[in-house]
Chain A
Amino acid sequence: MLKFIIRRVLMMIPILLGVSLVTFIIVRSIPGDPVRVLLGADARSTPEQIENIRRSYGLDQPLPVQYIKWLGHVVTGDLGQSLRTGRPLTQELGMRLPVTAQLTVFAAILGTIPAVIFGVLAAIRRNTKLDWMTTLTALAGISVPNFFLATLLVLLFSFKLRWLPNVGYKPFFDAPLDNLQLMILPAVSLALPFMAVLMRFTRSAVLEVMNQDFVRVARAKGLTQGRVIRRHVLPNAGIPVLTIAGIQVAALLGGTVIIEQIFALPGVGRYIYEAISNRDYPVVQSVTLVMAAIFVLVSLIVDVLYAVLDPRLRTR
């Protein structure tokens, strides 16, 4: 078991190195001079001043050197600082990561519960009205863009019914009720595609297991339907469903870029979008890396859980 985990952790390294390299290359190929963006329309700065700023941020060094230096800093926990505000990124992320984390976790919970319940029910009661409704809901869920769902929810709950605010953010620990009110619409908008994918997958995973021989045997030896489902079908179907949920976390993280923009939430997604428009190199580089690292870490956790739950995989 330990060996499996160690091997799996070691496998993260080339992926994260690849991610950092791809990010670095993309960010450095973005046209436009970050120092000029930093100085704004203020053209009064002399070439010497510009050169000084460039040197102070290390932007005058060859690219491979910049990459290695950045990587070295990241490994030691120093993510660099924003070109725009000059604030260290670790501090900035410390403020913004909780917002995105709450939004993502909230959406994952809101999405998983109906997905699993209706996915399982649809599979058990195959070809009933419930099954159709589930299929249609799932199809609609993967087809509606989340920004449009957000628009509809705002129209209905903020403008027509006036139940919920459509913009703003309050930290959970300062004002829990306000926070939940502000987070519910963004979380639902984010959760729908997640729910849809998971629901489709749960349904097919359960159906797949229900066709297995061991389920037929369990039925043949006279177990009740409920017991067959609970003891034999669900544990076996649960494992692949868990993996898909893990993979979909990347989609949730990506979704926050748009959703945080719409609802003006001060999270990581909005931060990185602004940073790309501002050519704030260090922010884009490090935050993208952090997001990818979160995803890789989630896949790692899922894989380890997978091995814990399914001993067959450990021996491979």
Chain B
Amino acid sequence: MSDVTTKTTSTLSPDGALAEATTTRRQSSRAPWWHTLFRQKLALTGAIIVFIFALIALFGPLLAPHGATEQFPELRLTGPSWANPFGSDEFGRDILSRLLYGARISFQVGVIAVAISAVIGVLLGLVAGYFGGWLDNLVSLLMDVLFAFPTILLAIALMAMLGNSLGNVMIAIGIVNAPTFMRVVRGSVLSVRQTTYIESAVAVGAPTSTILRRHIFPNITAPLIVHASLNFATAVLSEASLAYLGLGNKPPSPSWGSMVSSSYGFLQLAPWAAIVPGVAIGITVLGFNLLGDGLRDALDPRLRSQG
């Protein structure tokens, strides 16, 4: 059991994250200066996107020219204009306004779902990685079981169980993504645990809780932050997918995913109604992915020592 999980844990992050970062750093001295700049520019772009997204999520409703559900029947399915820069939808609602309101939903779901995954993942990952033995086997089995489900399917099933509300979307996505945190934390703990400073902490008789809190946890925060950023992207995507399937948001609510799905029927008449929210999702997710990649290059302590 454990040798297989170790293999998945240490060598394979699903998007080749570790290997990617390692090679980047190792070659950076040989790479031409503009390549480093390119990578930093990508990370900077990501940071800017995330920053703007957060601002819109916080202040979007103040900036919106109209309400999210305000209907202007005379403007039904009209194209972009000065008054409605992104056009209006099948109820004559201003798409820009709905977009600005909808950012808050994605942001909320992202923050809370990631927090839920992180709490579950950190606790179980710490326990499994530090204590090992049957505890590790049990947690690893749980991880393997959850990984065997296609994530979106598990999220849909959990939504059916918990009930269709925005709060439950956050819980469902949080649970579904928790195993990836578990894996990251467990792997990091395994490598930290072998260091001499942990050995000496044990030797001087520090209580286990102190070792976990004071010595292990601070040393796994870097991979954790990186993973949280990348996972935010996943959470936003999952929320959009669930909303697309009609889960989590009652219809008038302006979730970006449901904006795409509700305008699918009018695709020929009003393509902008689907394209605008779809592009918004794509850019937001891209932002978090770029930021995560950049953070990984900057933060991963294993890479720093090579630098």
Contacts and interface: CB of A to CB of B under 8 A. Distances in A.
A137 B8 CA distance: 26
Contacts of B245: 257-258, 261, 273
Given A14-B141, A127-B32, A211 B23 contact: yes
Q: Which of the listed residues A29, A251, A254 has the most CB atoms from chain B within 10 Å of its own CB?
A: A254
Nearest to B18: A204
Size category of the binding interface on chain B: 35 or more
B29 to A, nearest CB: 13
Q: Which of the listed residues B161, B283, B289 has the most CB atoms from chain A within 10 Å of its own CB?
A: B161
Q: Is the interface of A mostly helix, strand, loop or mixed?
A: helix
Given A139-B289, A258-B241, A295-B148, A272 B153 contact: yes
A304 B150 CA distance: 22
A250 to B, nearest CB: 5
Contacts of B141: 14-15, 18
A316 interface: yes
Interface string B50-65: 0000000000000000
B149 A148 contact: no
Contacts of B158: 26
A30 B168 CA distance: 13
Interface stretch (B205-213, B220-228, B268-276): B268-276
A301 interface: no
A142 B282 CA distance: 9
Nearest to B277: A148
Interface string B152-179: 1100111011010000000000000000
A145 B237 CA distance: 6
A288 B157 contact: yes
Given A31-B163, A207-B27, A258-B152, 5 more contacts: A15-B144, A147-B241, A148-B282, A240-B11, A258-B244
Interface of A: 8, 11, 14-16, 18-19, 22-23, 26-27, 29-31, 126-127, 132, 139-140, 142-145, 147-148, 151-152, 154-155, 159, 197, 200-205, 207-208, 211, 240, 243-244, 247-248, 250-251, 253-255, 257-258, 261-262, 272-273, 276-277, 279, 284, 288, 291-292, 295-296, 303, 316
